[in-house]
Amino acid sequence: MARFASAVLLAAALLMAGRLTNAGPSTTAEEVFWRALLPGSAVPDAVLQLLRPATTTSPTKRPASQGVPASGGARDDDDDDDHSFEGYEFSYDAPIATTRGGGAATPTPTSPTAAVFFHEEAVRVGERLPLHFRAAAPAALGLLPRGVADSIPFTTAALPAVLALLGVPPGSSRAAAMAETLRTCERPPPVAGEAEEARFCATSLEAMVERAVAALGTRDVRAVTSALPRAGLPPQAYTVRAVRRIRGGASFVACHDEAYPYTVYRCHGTGPARAYLVEMEGARGGGAVTVAFVCHTDTSRWNPEHVSFKVLGTKPGGAPVCHLMPYGHVIWAKNVKPSPA
């Protein structure tokens, strides 16, 4: 155990020396891996940012962003200016959908200011959508090298040791958010049959790519992300200017970043779905944005208490439920040739 702890501490020290100084390489090993495995798919800009996190960011503090802490509880004294674990989370088996990084606020049936869930009819040219693209708050350490990530235990049982290693105070909101991420990643499929859809958490870029490829059954895939400013945009109405269907077969793999000191992606098969890239222009300026949307066409296995049904006035198995993909979240799609006209 002592040898293991020493190895992890050494790995962390090496990481800090390379990731939080200006000594980083121009091309990372993760980029080389991506280009070798997926030569036809560019690394999304938001993912590149995670491979080269800000050199002035400390390992347990990140720039503040807007919103309510994902832990849902009171903030600790050491968290006064730290909203590092805020953002989107989409969980279809849970009744509550909270928000994590770079997108709109959690909706309620009586909150018209910003939307997360939509009817598919809303993703049409000329429609107006109330949205709030929040400032992204990515994990301070970004995507760890695979060897380092694999050396750090990613289990609830090992959490006390990991808190000590990463300098996160036990009992803090950051520790609570980390515990919730681990519980989410360790949660078994909630209903019979859901095991047929991929569900996994990835602690490195290589793990995310390999498991997404395995879930889709082919290496001929591409990564699709929203083109959004990392600094966010003020809440406003956006007019849909163009809609492009993301070709990828009948289902996709969606990956959402989770609350952790380093980047953890929670990925899942979408089940039957349609996906779109939607070009929109805000009423208050700020330029055009292109946002990825996923529309789930079969919600029959979702929790009947899921907030989307309350917001949209529908029920499991009813009309498709659509949601946007925030900054840094990834849709994995098969490369499917268009059918001949």
The answer to whether residue 67 sits within a structural domain is no
Tell whether the model's pLDDT for residue 280 goes beyond 70: yes
User: CB of 6 within 8 A of CB of 151?
Assistant: no
Q: Are 228 and 289 in contact (CB under 8 A)?
A: yes
For 121-165, write each residue's pLDDT tens digit. 999 999 999 999 989 888 989 999 999 999 999 999 999 999 999
C-alpha 10/C-alpha 189 separation (Å) is: 36
Given pLDDT bands bounded at 50, 70 and 90, which one contains residue 114? low
Residue 255: give the domain boundaries: 30-50+113-188+199-334
Looking at residue 92, its pLDDT comes to 56
pLDDT at residue 206 greater than cutoff 90: yes
Asked if 288 contacts 279 with a C-beta cutoff of 8 angstroms, the reply is yes
DSSP alpha helix (H) spans, the chain: 2-19, 29-37, 45-51, 146-151, 159-166, 173-186, 205-216, 307-312
Mean pLDDT of the chain: 78
Supply φ then ψ for residue 111, to 5 degrees: -110, 100
Q: Model confidence over 229-252: pLDDT tens digits?
A: 999 999 999 999 999 999 998 899
CA angle 239, 107, 98 (to 5 degrees): 120
pLDDT reported for residue 77: 34
The count of residues in the chain is 341
Q: So what's the pLDDT on residue 63?
A: 34
Q: Within a domain: residue 103?
A: no
135: in domain:
yes
Question: How many CA atoms within 13 Å lie on the side-chain side of 275?
Answer: 27
- What is the value of pTM for the model shown? 0.80
pLDDT beyond 80 at 327: yes
How far apart CA 143 and CA 50 sit, in angstroms, is 5
How many angstroms separate the CA atoms of 111 and 106, rounded?
9
For residue 231, being part of any structural domain is answered with yes
Low-confidence winner among 96-105, 187-196, 229-238 (lowest mean pLDDT) = 96-105
Residue 11's pLDDT band (cuts 50, 70, 90): low
- Confidence (pLDDT) at 224: 96
* Top-confidence residue, 221 or 82: 221
Longest dimension (CA), the chain: 65
The total domain count for the chain is: 1
pLDDT tops 50 at residue 6: no
Q: Which residues contact 29 (CB under 8 A, 6 or more apart)?
A: 145
**pLDDT of res. 156:** 97
Instruction: Decide: residue 2, CB within 10 A, 0-12 exposed, 13-18 middle, 19+ buried.
Output: exposed
| Beta carbons within 10 angstroms of residue 140's beta carbon | 22
Residue 10 belongs to some domain of the structure: no
> Does residue 227 lie in a domain region?
yes
Residue 100 is assigned to a structural domain of this protein: no
Q: What is the pLDDT of residues 52-94, one digit of tens each?
A: 875 434 433 433 332 222 232 333 334 332 222 233 445 555 5
As a whole number of angstroms, the distance between CA 205 and CA 129 comes to: 33
Name which residue leads in pLDDT, 181 or 66. 181
In a domain, 206, yes or no: yes
